[in-house]
Amino acid sequence: MLIPLDKLVSQRSLKWTVIVHVGANTGEEMDAYVAAGAKHITWIEPRQTAINELKQKIETLGDTVDQQVFRYAVDVEPDQLYMHIASNGAASSCLKPALHLEEHPSIFFVGGEVVSAKPLDELLDESHFNQRTIDLLKVNVQGMELRVLKSAIKSMDRIQSVYVEVNEKPLYFECVLFPELDAFVQSHGFRLIEKEMTTHGSGAAFYTRGD
């Protein structure tokens, strides 16, 4: 991760008990979440191959953390979306690749699959801990980040921190760029704490409420 979770936790004395991760891939952050105090994690990921690996990691961890997996993409309305599958898995997106092909020539797209999408509000209503405060929402969905956040309007007031992938170049067609995303997040009471970018035009931003 461009902004290490342990750095955020130590510098700001954070404790993330409830975490929701949209675009989970294979759950690479699981150990970092547990180290940050996670007791309840909701993983949302549309690709079955990634979910299979994620569930293996969950089984290895055991029942020390309450974890739930939803096989969905997230969008503002329920829908069926075409997902473009990347050779590395992680760059797969429901948006067609654009400058990503130039910025990352070693990553190619190997076809696609149709995935089901739901708004994040609906998925949170279905989760085990649907009334809890969400300490951290992490969103990594290759250009669809604003659509994810707009699908969580009803839940926004109980989200305390947002860690989100951002883009300053159109790596995917119709992907949201940072100024628009930043304006939306800050309009809902969050403050930008840290932002890191790569030379490829992609990066990460961390927002939180309060001081």
Q: Examine residue 19 and state whether it is found in any structural domain, yes or no.
A: yes
- Could you report the per-residue pLDDT of 65-117, keeping only the tens digit for each? 999 999 999 999 999 999 999 999 999 999 999 999 999 999 999 999 999 99
pLDDT band at 131 (very low <50, low <70, confident <90, very high): confident
- Decide if pLDDT at 129 tops 80: no
Q: Examine residue 114 and state whether it is found in any structural domain, yes or no.
A: no
Model-level pTM? Answer: 0.96
- Decide if pLDDT at 210 tops 80: no
Q: Examine residue 41 and state whether it is found in any structural domain, yes or no.
A: yes
User: Residue 48 sits in a domain of what CATH number?
Assistant: 3.40.50.150
- Could you report the per-residue pLDDT of 13-72, keeping only the tens digit for each? 888 999 999 999 999 999 999 999 999 999 999 999 999 999 999 999 888 899 999 999
Question: How far apart, in whole angstroms, are the C-alpha atoms of residue 165 and residue 181?
Answer: 10
Q: Examine residue 59 and state whether it is found in any structural domain, yes or no.
A: yes
Q: Examine residue 30 and state whether it is found in any structural domain, yes or no.
A: yes
List all residues 6 or more positions away from 8 whose beta carbon is below 8 Å from its beta carbon: 14, 163, 193, 194, 206
Q: Examine residue 196 and state whether it is found in any structural domain, yes or no.
A: yes
Q: How many independent structural domains does the chain possess?
A: 1
Q: What residue numbers bound the domain in which 187 lies?
A: 5-74+120-208
**Sheet with 202-208, edge to edge strand ranges:** 66-70, 40-44, 18-22, 136-139, 161-167, 202-208, 191-197
Q: Examine residue 105 and state whether it is found in any structural domain, yes or no.
A: no
Average pLDDT, the chain: 95
* Per-residue confidence (pLDDT) for residue 41, from 0 to 100: 96
Q: Examine residue 91 and state whether it is found in any structural domain, yes or no.
A: no
